[in-house]
Structure 1
Amino acid sequence: MTTHSPALRRQGDYGVDGDFGVISARWLALIVVAIVAGLIAFTVRNLVVGALVGAVLTGLIAIALVLFVGSYLRTTRVGKFEVWSRILGDLRLRGDEQVLDLGCGRGALLLMAAELLPRGRAVGIDLWQADQTGNNPDATRRNAEREGVADRVEVQTGDITRLPFADNTFDLIISNLVLHNLPSAADRRAALDEAVRVLRPGGRLAIADLLSTNRYRAHLRELGLTDVGRRNLGWRMWWGAPWFPTRLVTATKKT
């Protein structure tokens, strides 16, 4: 039985998570830099003219913004790997499972799972929208090559509310910060319905998300899954601040 966790040191390029459909990551970075620079300028000006209250206020806002962005970047570049390494390790996979990653993106989670499947297979499905920088299937395949797991990874384009897989196909279904991007609660329920449909009896499900995780937990119970749980993944997956945490919903399909 495989009990180790996937390596934290990654060889691939996994981009930055975020909604870049309207404003690109580059422009967002420029906007943040401009705002911080403006706040610093106002702080210095207020100090020069003796407006200490104004200087403290603008200085604190600048510091808060820098800390927010720093936390966000640490989560997307480091924290999610630390957290999911432990989650996947705790699953104690045998190494021959079939694993599905819903909304795999550039493969951060997909390829970590693949490392634990020397005799299994990891399948990723995505619509390749601008939910992270450079999101496309070729980037995922390149990362799979760099991580040395391309022989056990499959990438597909598809809608997670209408999965192109037969019933009872996968031993484990995983997902990270994907379901909240679906446009409606009905779509999120449909995605859960599909995940349960393609999950084998006795198979497990682990879904991390920002919003609606209480509803995910309730719906999985309605679908008859057992050992349904929900927990906060802690500061390593804060998206800028404690009030933007990530929570993990886990469940098992009845045998």
Structure 2
Amino acid sequence: MTTTLDPRRRRGDYGIDGDFSVIPARWQAVIIAAIVATLIALTVRNIATGAFIGAVVTGLLTLGLVLFVGSYLYTTRVGKFEVWARILNDFRLRGDEQVLDLGCGRGALLLMAAELLPRGRPVGIDLWHADQTGNSPDATRRNAEREGVADRVEVETGDITQLPFADNTFDLIISNLVLHNIPSAAGRRAAIDEAVRVLSPGGRLAIADLWATNRHRARLHELGLTDVRRRNLGWRMWWGGPWFPTRLVTATKSAMPVTN
């Protein structure tokens, strides 16, 4: 019987995506709330004093900021789960595959994949930087317990540009909003190369990110992968609006040897 993911049945605590290494998430929320309150006060004052053009400007700024924050929170708390549940369901996994999640964080993708692998091996790897609230191996393992998949999930600490796995190990490699955190183009290219190296012949790859996805697609073509595609994942994965979309690159590794 084929398992189908239901994105509404998440039991884990996956935090909020974002960079909180400099300013903690709580303080970022306080700052945004203060800006919104200030804009609302200015709008009210402009209306009271008859400065209607100013009221329109501050009102539009308030609305834009509220919509930006609302879109961001929807994506990080709901949208990404809906989108990735559909992506993973479409792979129609048998249930015995080996799957690698590059930059697994608190396990949002990894643990969804684990639900589809009752006889498989889901592996997550990360450096555990503070790009999510409370990002750590222990947080991932706690979420695995809550989702009921702790018995088959493996969590590794490592660099995705130098993966600690043998060639041709994994049937599927997934990643969400990770490669853009690598500061150099050479590093991002190395991550793509490593993903292809550990991917089994006939295996599939799905990488979602905010930028450089055209370069990822081009490199996968260079490495000889087939059915290489790139698409916009739509409004459910807008990070504040259509100007910050997420794009997905997918490909299949040929059974022929990969050459550089």
- One-letter code of the match for 1:224? G
For 2:172, the equivalent position in structure 1 comes to 172
Which residue is equivalent to 1:120?
120
Cα shift at 1:121: 1.1
Letter in 2 for 1:91: F
Q: Distance in 1 between matches of 2:6 and 2:87?
A: 10
Aligned partner letter, 1:235: W
SS of the aligned residue for 2:151 comes to helix
Q: TM-score normalized by structure 2?
A: 0.97
Look up the match of 2:149.
149
Change over 3 Å in CA distance of 1:158–1:30 after alignment to 2? same
**Which residue of structure 2 aligns with residue 111 of structure 1?**
111
Partner of 2:219: 219
2:28 corresponds to: 28
Question: Which letter maps to 2:20?
Answer: F
2:85: which partner in 1? 85
Contact residue 213 and residue 247 of structure 1 kept, 8 A: yes
> Secondary structure in 1 aligned to 2:19?
coil
* Counterparts of 1:252 and 1:90, CA distance in 2: 14
Kept in 2, the 8 Å contact 1:179–1:191? The answer is yes
Q: Specify the code of the residue in structure 2 equivalent to 1:197.
A: R
Query: For the Cα contact (< 8 Å) 1:8–1:85, is it kept in 2?
Result: no
By how many angstroms is 1:21 displaced?
1.3
Partner residue, 2:2: 2
Within 5 A, what are the aligned runs for 1:41-56?
A: 41-56=41-56
Q: What letter is aligned with 2:185?
A: A
Structure 1 gaps, min length 5: none
* Secondary structure of the corresponding residue to residue 132 of structure 2: coil
Unpaired segments ≥5 residues, structure 2:
256-260
Instruction: Assess if the C-alpha contact under 8 Å between 1:17 and 1:133 holds in 2.
Output: yes
Cα distance in 2, alignment partners of residues 6 and 64 from structure 1: 32
Please tell me the residue identity of whatever aligns with 2:110: L
CA positional deviation for 1:130: 1.1
Distance, in Å, in 2 between the alignment partners of 1:211 and 1:21 is 21
Identity among equivalent positions (%) equals 82
Give how far 1:3 is off.
5.8
Question: Deviation string for 1:5-50 (max 9, x for gaps)?
Answer: 3543100000000011111111110000000000001011111111
Distance 1:74 1:7 in 2: 13
Aligned-pair Cα RMSD in Å: 0.9
List aligned pairs for 1:136-215, cutoff 5 A: 136-215=136-215
Tell me the distance in 2 between the aligned counterparts of 1:6 and 1:222: 36
CA distance in 2, matches of 1:108, 1:76: 10
Instruction: Work out the CA distance in 1 between the residues paired with 2:251 and 2:47.
Output: 56
2:134, 2:171 → 1: CA distance? Answer: 30
One-letter amino acid of the counterpart of residue 150, structure 2? A
Structure 1 counterpart of 2:258? none
Q: Does the 8 Å CA contact 1:206/1:248 hold for their aligned counterparts?
A: yes
Q: Is the 8 Å Cα contact of residues 7 and 82 (structure 2) preserved in structure 1?
A: no
C-alpha spacing 1:7/1:39, structure 2 compared with 1 (3 Å): closer
8 A contact 2:101–2:174 mirrored in 1: yes
Q: Structure 1 39/30 Cα, relative in aligned 2: closer, same or farther at 3 Å? A: same
**In structure 2, what is the Cα distance between the partners aligned to 1:9 and 1:238?**
22
Cα deviation digits, residues 152-171 of structure 1 (max 9, x gap): 10001100000000101100
